[in-house]
Structure 1
Amino acid sequence: MLTCQSSFSIESVLWRCLITKNKNEVKVVAKILRVAAKGSKETEIMERCKLDSMSIENYLSALTELNFLTVEDENEIYCRTTDRGLEFLNTYHRLRWLLWGKDNDFMLMRLLEQMKKREQSPFYVS
């Protein structure tokens, strides 16, 4: 059974970035969900996403916990993207299209950060 490692320290984030060879994690998640859309074995996902075994286990457990993937463990781990995962993919691709470019994820992240800050500090009129 896969377990989710939910440590969000700077070291763990840096380690995950090094493991994925500095790929944008959102892109990696989208690629995993695309590969698993019709159902795929863990090894196929590893090969097509160019991930090592430690990285794929971390991603699969996190995506399973988020209910983006279902994972069946028979002889070999078999993954399938859930409806929620497909919804995420749809939203991800629409946002990328709106931002006009394949490498504009940094813009999306900056927009999401700004939205998060606005929610935390409400504006008061006196």
Structure 2
Amino acid sequence: MSAEANQRVNGVDESADGEDVSKPVAKKVAKHDSGAADLEKVTDFEEEREISSQDLLGAITMIGDKRSKETAERVARMNELAKVVINKEDVELIIKEMEIPRSTAELKLRECAGNVVDALIALTD
């Protein structure tokens, strides 16, 4: 019998004559068999809880307080910026050079304390 005459049938080597040529065939070992049992125990069930109206009211109140605080801070900042004196020529220069709306140009110029060079640099960054 030649080696070419041997064939592999169902994991067993057989010769062309149908004789068994006994060679041990290694079986593939599953790597993660131990985890399969653990996965069967896992479910997506979560116990439902009731949400009380007090919890909802507390959350809504907290959100409302945060919004009102942010609004108050924004108004205070705008009031501080309104006190800054700016030149109309500077505003016109920024509008012309940067091609932006007047409100944006005035705001940026006020944020930069009326310094037109700083405002232009801030707008290009």
Q: Same fold (TM over 0.5)?
A: no
Output the TM-score relative to the length of structure 2.
0.22
Structure of greater relative contact order (alpha carbons < 8 Å, 6+ residues apart): 1
The structure with the larger Rg is 2
Higher strand share: 1
